[in-house]
A and B are shown apart, each in its own frame.
Chain A
């Protein structure tokens, strides 16, 4: 463990998608847990190379959608059949069919909110500050460079051995980033 609490992690730069994919496989096999890969676009196969499990966003969306549908049905029943029933064209006060469209739309609406807010929650976004965003080279992560970062807080981290591992993956540039 690094004694200095000022450092955030070791950052290694790569220039191609294939290089960062292989580097990620090596870091995963070395058993690190607090590390990440930063790319300008999602790379196909990277989740497997990093050992990331299937995202849980779907559960948030499902919860939202189910809430939307039930609350839609309850809302229409309450308004048109319970609180102030009025006969319109001899139609029933409540039936599961006529409110279907509003309920369907509310399913979509809250399902979409569930997906977006769930994604933000799982990613801990929005976040106003990140140590990597202060690094000048790291700005290229949204341009055309690929970065692999191993945090100093990782239990397996050691300044020298980890640097050696990253060098072995063929990175062109390795740097210690301050917190």
Chain B
């Protein structure tokens, strides 16, 4: 190529891209910083969070034992509301689990390089949230010892599960989602486990991290296959993440019940899931980046971009709410109209208003850059998002069941203390897993973050490029 350089003047400062890692930190600095989180002393706040979480796990185990030994009567379920908190919490946790795969797969395919700073923690969050969700379908079948009927195995009368039911589709969707998310997470972890292996100071650490690093050397012949596998996984996980909550929504929309029987459910559920998932990522990352001093890797730009995704998905959810009301009116179906009227002015009016305000109205504050850069505000909105999404599921599940077609069938549903304690227990499980994760595994995808720094680009001056090559870059 000729060196007769095309004269390009440097871009004005306001068009300059904000770097993904601040202060031009070197790859070595990034390794030291991320590995330092694991290698340093266990901070006091970690114990302060871990011990209560573990106690909540004990409570979860006790609640499940109580349920199994006594029967589902210990929950608030009764005719006509046979799906209560268990299904609400299942859908809620699964929804939270959507942000991780969205960040790791969809943003990867869209070449959003900022994903590298948050994808590991978000994927971990996904896996733990799906674990919490997975408990519910198993325990809510009532006779837990028959939970294996969910799987494609013949029962004692040689009858197979029947696949015309969306509940069977859901079993496949959720278990595939968990397995593929776990694989995606682990494949991403392999090079970072090799980092920890090579830095380890004790034999035990070297052995354990070495075992799980599978003998990774960083060979480029390996990277070549690895990157291809990662790309394929992202390509497979993208339709998967969109299909999972769509399938969950089919559990409802395939039935005939007013409030459930709508075609808008699949996209509406997916948008809501991503909204709540990003809410949870923000809830976790805003305090974590401060406590672990990772502000240069998880920068304000990352927070800003996540707020924008929250705003976008919150607005889609808001649009879906408006459409639901419009169709309820436009359909002319009196049952449909009644159900939607009761959402706002019925016995559970507070749920209807909570979901409208927290999911559709509150995220609109993120139009303002000032709010997106105010960490306290971001933290509060992220929590409200998840409260709102919980109420959305409450409204959908209970709000449609308690008043169906025949007034003689109507009832009122209240959770019992067992419902509440089981739900709190899943928080314990989630935070126990997450705290163990940040203590023993790199919560930033170290080798991926290194790969998006200018030092990793052989055509950038910081990557060692000289003369001719730099010309294209600096102009």
Chain A positions near chain B (C-beta within 8 angstroms): 15-21, 24, 36-47, 50, 52, 54-58, 61, 65, 75-76, 79-80, 83-84, 86, 88-89, 91, 98-99, 101-102, 104-106, 108-109, 111-113, 115-116, 118-120, 122-123, 125-130, 132-133, 139-144
Least CB distance, B341 to chain A, in whole angstroms: 30
Indicate if the CB atoms of A116 and B229 lie closer than 8 Å. yes
> Residues of B contacting A108 with CB < 8 Å?
176, 180, 236-237, 239-240, 243
A interface SS class = helix
Is B466 in contact with chain A by the CB < 8 A criterion?
A: yes
A-B contact pairs, 21 of them (CB 8 A): A18-B464, A18-B465, A18-B469, A37-B219, A39-B223, A40-B447, A42-B227, A42-B451, A46-B220, A55-B229, A80-B162, A83-B154, A101-B243, A102-B172, A105-B173, A105-B243, A115-B232, A115-B233, A119-B229, A120-B214, A143-B31
Closest 8 CB pairs of A and B: A16-B464, A18-B464, A79-B160, A144-B28, A119-B229, A126-B214, A127-B215, A55-B228
Least CB distance, A105 to chain B, in whole angstroms: 4
> Residues of B contacting A116 with CB < 8 Å?
183, 187, 229, 233
Known: A18-B458, A18-B464. A39 touches B31 (CB 8 A): no
Indicate if the CB atoms of A143 and B198 lie closer than 8 Å. yes
> Residues of B contacting A17 with CB < 8 Å?
455-458, 463-464
Indicate if the CB atoms of A16 and B236 lie closer than 8 Å. no
Q: When chains A and B are docked, how far (Å) is the Cα of A21 from the Cα of B392?
A: 53
Known: A44-B457, A75-B152, A142-B198. A39 touches B218 (CB 8 A): yes
Indicate if the CB atoms of B215 and A55 lie closer than 8 Å. no
Indicate if the CB atoms of A89 and B217 lie closer than 8 Å. no
Least CB distance, A17 to chain B, in whole angstroms: 4
Least CB distance, B268 to chain A, in whole angstroms: 18
- Proximity string of chain B (163-198) to chain A, C-beta cutoff 8 Å, 1 when within and 0 when not: 111101100110010011001100100010011011
Besides the known contacts A119-B228, A143-B199, 17 further A-B residue pairs in the complex with CB atoms under 8 A apart: A19-B464, A40-B218, A40-B447, A44-B458, A47-B224, A52-B221, A52-B224, A55-B229, A76-B163, A80-B162, A84-B158, A102-B172, A108-B239, A116-B229, A122-B225, A132-B217, A142-B191
Q: When chains A and B are docked, how far (Å) is the Cα of A43 from the Cα of B451?
A: 7
CB nearest to B180 among chain A residues:
A112
B interface SS class = helix
Least CB distance, A11 to chain B, in whole angstroms: 12
- Proximity string of chain B (58-90) to chain A, C-beta cutoff 8 Å, 1 when within and 0 when not: 000000000000000000000000000000000
Indicate if the CB atoms of A112 and B160 lie closer than 8 Å. no
Q: When chains A and B are docked, how far (Å) is the Cα of A89 from the Cα of B228?
A: 45
> Residues of A contacting B172 with CB < 8 Å?
101-102, 105-106
Indicate if the CB atoms of B458 and A98 lie closer than 8 Å. no
Q: When chains A and B are docked, how far (Å) is the Cα of A98 from the Cα of B161?
A: 14
> Residues of B contacting A52 with CB < 8 Å?
220-221, 224
Known: A88-B162, A101-B173, A133-B217. A43 touches B229 (CB 8 A): no
> Residues of A contacting B247 with CB < 8 Å?
101
Q: When chains A and B are docked, how far (Å) is the Cα of A20 from the Cα of B164?
A: 57
Indicate if the CB atoms of B176 and A105 lie closer than 8 Å. yes
Indicate if the CB atoms of A101 and B198 lie closer than 8 Å. no
> Residues of A contacting B448 with CB < 8 Å?
41
Q: When chains A and B are docked, how far (Å) is the Cα of A99 from the Cα of B162?
A: 10
Is B329 in contact with chain A by the CB < 8 A criterion?
A: no
Indicate if the CB atoms of A144 and B217 lie closer than 8 Å. no
Is B26 in contact with chain A by the CB < 8 A criterion?
A: yes
Least CB distance, B106 to chain A, in whole angstroms: 14
Indicate if the CB atoms of B229 and A118 lie closer than 8 Å. yes
Indicate if the CB atoms of A144 and B194 lie closer than 8 Å. no
CB nearest to A68 among chain B residues:
B176
Indicate if the CB atoms of A109 and B180 lie closer than 8 Å. yes
Q: When chains A and B are docked, how far (Å) is the Cα of A128 from the Cα of B160?
A: 43
Least CB distance, A93 to chain B, in whole angstroms: 9
Q: When chains A and B are docked, how far (Å) is the Cα of A133 from the Cα of B200?
A: 13
CB nearest to A36 among chain B residues:
B219
CB nearest to A149 among chain B residues:
B219
Q: When chains A and B are docked, how far (Å) is the Cα of A44 from the Cα of B454?
A: 12
Is B159 in contact with chain A by the CB < 8 A criterion?
A: yes
Q: When chains A and B are docked, how far (Å) is the Cα of A43 from the Cα of B448?
A: 11
Least CB distance, B150 to chain A, in whole angstroms: 12
Q: When chains A and B are docked, how far (Å) is the Cα of A125 from the Cα of B26?
A: 29
Q: When chains A and B are docked, how far (Å) is the Cα of A176 from the Cα of B227?
A: 30
Indicate if the CB atoms of A58 and B158 lie closer than 8 Å. no
Indicate if the CB atoms of B198 and A139 lie closer than 8 Å. yes
Least CB distance, A142 to chain B, in whole angstroms: 4
Is B205 in contact with chain A by the CB < 8 A criterion?
A: no
Q: When chains A and B are docked, how far (Å) is the Cα of A162 from the Cα of B176?
A: 50
Known: A119-B226, A133-B215. A144 touches B26 (CB 8 A): yes
> Residues of B contacting A89 with CB < 8 Å?
164
Known: A101-B243, A118-B229. A39 touches B220 (CB 8 A): yes
Q: When chains A and B are docked, how far (Å) is the Cα of A115 from the Cα of B194?
A: 21
Central interface residue in B457, B458, B459, B469, by most chain A CB within 10 Å? B458
